[in-house]
Structures are given as C-alpha cells and as structure tokens.
Amino acid sequence: MSRRFLVLLTCTLVLATLLGACAPAPATPAAQPTQVPAQPAAEPTQAPAEPTKAPEPTQAPPEPTKAPDPTKAPEPTAVPEPEKLILATTTSTADSGLLDYILPDFEQKHNAKVDVIAVGTGQSLEIGSKGDADVVLVHSRKGEDQFVADGNAKERHDVMYNDFIIVGPKTDPAKAKGMATGKEAFQAIMDAGQPFVSRGDKSGTHTKELSIWSSIPVTPTAEMGWYNSIGQGMGDTLLFAEEKMGYTLADRGTYLAMSDKLPGLEVIVGGGNLAENKDKALLNPYGVLAVNPEKHPNVKDELAQKFVEWILSPDVQKMIGEFGVEKYGQPLFYANAQPAEAAASGDAALKITGKVGAEQAWSEEQVKALPTVDVESTNSKGEKDTYTGVKLTDLLALAAPAADATTIVFVADDGYAAEAPLADVLACANCIVSFRSNGGFSTVLPEFAKNLQVKGVVDIQVK
C-alpha cells in the first residue's frame, strides 16, 4: 500500500475517534410526572355570578300633567257698524262749531254716525219733508209748525236760542250803529244806498231778514244796486260782507265764531250780548223735529228719537250753554229744552208768564243747565255774599216781553209778591235768579230795594 493511502486511512480513523468522543451520551428517560389524581381537577372557580343587575333606574316620573292651555279669552264681540243718522240742519249750527262740539257725545253713546246736511232752514225742512233726513234741527218757528201740520213730524221741541244782529263796516257809512231796532237800521241802510248782503237761501235768517224788510215796507230785489242776494250759508255771507264792506243780518253765534276772519265788520244793532239787544223781535229760537215714520217709513225713527232725547237731556243742554263761554265770554247759544213739557207735567219750578211773546216754564234741572254767573250782593244780615244763578235778562229774552210791557212781578211759593219797573230789570246786567242750597230759587237784584230779594220765587209775571 502506498504510503499516501496509509496516511489518509490513519487520519480518517483519528477523526472518527474524535468525533465519537464528542457525541452526547444518550439521554436518561425523564421520570414520568406525578400522575394527576384520577378526579379531574376542579374546574376553576366559576367567576362570580354576574353582579345583581342593578334595577333599572326607576322610570322617571311621568312628565307633569301639562297645564291646560289657558282658556282662550272669547273673541271680543264684534262691535256692529255704527248706524247712520241723517241730520238736516241750518248752517249756523255747523259754522259756529256747535255740532263739532256736541255730536261726538251722541255718536259714542249710541254707536252712531251722524251725517250732517248743513243748508238753510227752508232746505232742511224740504229735505225732511221728502223723508231724506231722519231728524231736523232748524230755526224758523213758522216753518217748523207747518212741518208738523203737514204730518212730516209729530211734534217740535225747543232746544236753544240766540239772537240775530246786524253787522256792518266799522266805518258805518249808513250811520245805523246804536239804533234800537232792525227796522230802523234797514231803513237807514236802504236810504244811504249802502251794500246789503242777503243769504237769499230760504233759511231762517233769510226769512227773518225778509220780515224786517216787509215791516218798512219794502221788497228788495237784485235790480236795487245796493242789494246782494247770494244764495249762500251764514259763514259765506259774512265773508262776502267783509269783502264787500257791506251790512248783513247774522246770528250772533256764527258771527262770534268767525269774528277773527271779519276784521272790518262789527255789531251795528244788537249790542255786545243777547241781554243788550233791545230789539226782542231779533230773538232766534231753534227747534228739533224727528221725521214722522208713519209718513216716511224709510227713516230711522228709533235712532232719531234717541237723538231728540239726547239733545234735550240736561247734560247736553249744559254742553250747549257752555259752548263759547270760555273763548267769547258768552254762550253762542242758550239752552232752553222742554219748558212747555215741564209746565204741562207739573214739574215747572220757575215760570215766566203775562205779556210776553212766549210764556216759559222750566224744571229746576233745566234752569241749572243754563249758563250761570256769580254776583256779589248784600245778604239779609247786611254782609256781602256771592250768589250763583242765571241772569234775569237771559230768561226774559227767551220770553220776549211785549213792547208795551212796563212792570215785572216776582211771586214766591208762599204767595209773597214784589214788583219793579221792567226797564230797570232789563238794564241790570247782574240781576239773577239764584240757586238756593235747599232747592228752588231766589231773586238777587243788587242795588234794588230789599223787598225785591224774593226767596222761593216760582213765577215771574210781565205786565
């Protein structure tokens, strides 16, 4: 064998020996583990029972009972539409501002709307006679009486009065100022050929004017260059007279209400107030008449009757008597509702009788509704005292003493009587019928004899 072979064999054997020495000893079989007891190990302690389920939270109490919706206020009863009343009247009640002053009271109290037709008295009565108005308020006694006689109204009621005056330029070219009567002044105006402005509208004022001309006697026409008949109401007639610098007949109420628009005119006949008007023929009474539903079935009779009752009531009579006093120092109208009815019913607390154009009678309430004044006089103890009452001149103006009357007699409720010259009483601006604290009236005539201070006066007689 070759040496190389022997070396290789030797090396192989050495290597095998080395490798055998390095091999790990065979592993001793592992002891069997202690046998687990036959009874199987207890299941792991069961997890504690689920905690007692917390009770469901008590259900929230039911929502509080919902408060009932507040009871809905009932819908306000719808106010019915105002009922329309048609009032035909003279222009003086409108032009003076009186209707604007008093009518809202009626409309509010009776849920009414008053439609005013302001024309002359003649036209107002004509409108009423056709059933085209429910009620008329005018100032022509003759025409009003005829209206009743024709069946267009069942009755007429006194409401108020004022007076007519003659106004003209302050320069007074006719020299008529201060004359005692309208007749004298008209004559002077005509003789001087000065412009005269006539309403020419068949109104109460126009009717009065024509009656004065007829007393001259004359019938003025358009052919007379100085005479202007314009067919207009009182306000427009006064404005025309101002523009023309002419004379005219006017009711005092409208003249006073428009005086700031009439700088060139003044009162020529009639004085500063009704008491100073010497011409009793210039008294100007107003009446109210509800149109007769039996002749004119279309009229609103129930509302018209309410209007009549309202305008005659003490409250409204007081409103009428106060209208204009604050601004002009005198009323534009003097209230005088129902004197005849008071006398007929036995309710008259004060009367004026005898030689007068129209006998008068008032209840105590009606007298107190008239314009009042305060006067100072000496009482029975010789002391100065203040008394409130109604001017005697205002009361006498309504009665219109006859031209030939000379004496006035005051009669008390116990029969006592005292008399005085009528002219002296008419000239007394502060002579009154005063109100007694326990009811009734007394006369207060400062500077007259004591016997004329009559307590409990009930009758004023003109002789």
Tens-place pLDDT, residues 257-273: 999 999 999 999 999 98
User: Are 166 and 264 within one domain?
Assistant: yes
User: Are 402 and 438 within one domain?
Assistant: yes
CATH code of residue 259: 3.40.190.10
Range of the domain at 324: 83-160+284-338
Amino acid 75: pLDDT: 67
User: Are 168 and 274 within one domain?
Assistant: yes
Confidence of residue 2 (pLDDT cuts 50, 70, 90): low
Measured distance CA(231)–CA(401) in Å, rounded: 33
pLDDT, mean of residues 129-140: 97
Among candidate residues 342, 352, 362, the one with its CA nearest the CA of residue 425? 352
Contact yes or no for 454/348 (Cβ under 8 A):
no
Amino acid 39: pLDDT: 46
Q: Which of 283, 299, 315 is the last residue of a domain?
A: 283
Interval 413-428: pLDDT, tens = 999 999 999 999 999 9
Contact yes or no for 185/326 (Cβ under 8 A):
no
Q: Which of 318, 338, 358 is the last residue of a domain?
A: 338
Higher pLDDT, 40 or 409: 409
Measured distance CA(415)–CA(436) in Å, rounded: 18
Domain contains 25: no
User: Are 372 and 455 within one domain?
Assistant: yes
User: Are 243 and 195 within one domain?
Assistant: yes
Domain contains 360: yes
Domain contains 36: no
User: Are 266 and 308 within one domain?
Assistant: no
Confidence of residue 378 (pLDDT cuts 50, 70, 90): confident
Measured distance CA(318)–CA(274) in Å, rounded: 18
Query: Mean pLDDT lowest for which of 57-71, 239-253, 324-338, 398-412?
Result: 57-71
Domain contains 1: no
Domain contains 54: no
Interval 190-230: pLDDT, tens = 999 999 999 999 999 999 999 999 999 999 998 999 999 99
Measured distance CA(403)–CA(112) in Å, rounded: 45
User: Are 301 and 156 within one domain?
Assistant: yes
Core vs surface per residue 270-305: b (16+ CB within 10 A) or e: beebbbebebbbbbbbbbbbbbbbeebeebbbebbe
Count, residues in the chain: 463
CATH code of residue 453: 3.90.420.10
Confidence of residue 9 (pLDDT cuts 50, 70, 90): low
DSSP letter string, 49-113: PPPPPPPPPPPPPPPPPPPPPPPPPPPPPPPPPPEEEEEEEEHHHHHTSHHHHHHHHHHHHHTEE
Q: Which of 308, 323, 338 is the last residue of a domain?
A: 338
pLDDT, mean of residues 334-358: 73
Residue that the structure tokens 């201070």 belong to: 453
Measured distance CA(205)–CA(221) in Å, rounded: 17
H and E: helices and strands count for the chain: 16, 19
Domain contains 313: yes
- What does the mean pLDDT of the chain come to? 86
Whether the pLDDT of residue 31 is over 50: the answer is no
Amino acid 200: pLDDT: 94
Amino acid 59: pLDDT: 58
User: Are 231 and 309 within one domain?
Assistant: no
Core vs surface per residue 63-99: b (16+ CB within 10 A) or e: eeeeeeeeeeeeeeeeeeeeeebbbbbbbbbbbbbbb
pTM: 0.66
Tokens, residue 181 = 């009567």
Amino acid 33: pLDDT: 44
pLDDT, mean of residues 89-116: 96
Whether the pLDDT of residue 79 is over 80: the answer is no
Task: Give the strand order in the sheet containing 384-391.
Answer: 373-378, 384-391, 432-435, 441-444
Q: What are phi and psi of 458, to 5 degrees?
A: -125, -20
Contact yes or no for 329/256 (Cβ under 8 A):
no
User: Are 433 and 351 within one domain?
Assistant: yes
Question: How many percent of the chain have pLDDT more than 90?
Answer: 63
Domain contains 454: yes
User: Are 356 and 441 within one domain?
Assistant: yes
pLDDT, mean of residues 127-138: 98
pLDDT, mean of residues 434-457: 93
User: Are 305 and 252 within one domain?
Assistant: no
Distances (CA, A) of 20 to 6, 12, 24, 25, 280: 21, 12, 9, 10, 178
How many domains, in total, are found in the chain? 3
User: Are 294 and 439 within one domain?
Assistant: no
Domain contains 40: no
Amino acid 379: pLDDT: 81
DSSP state of 187: H
Contact yes or no for 416/454 (Cβ under 8 A):
yes
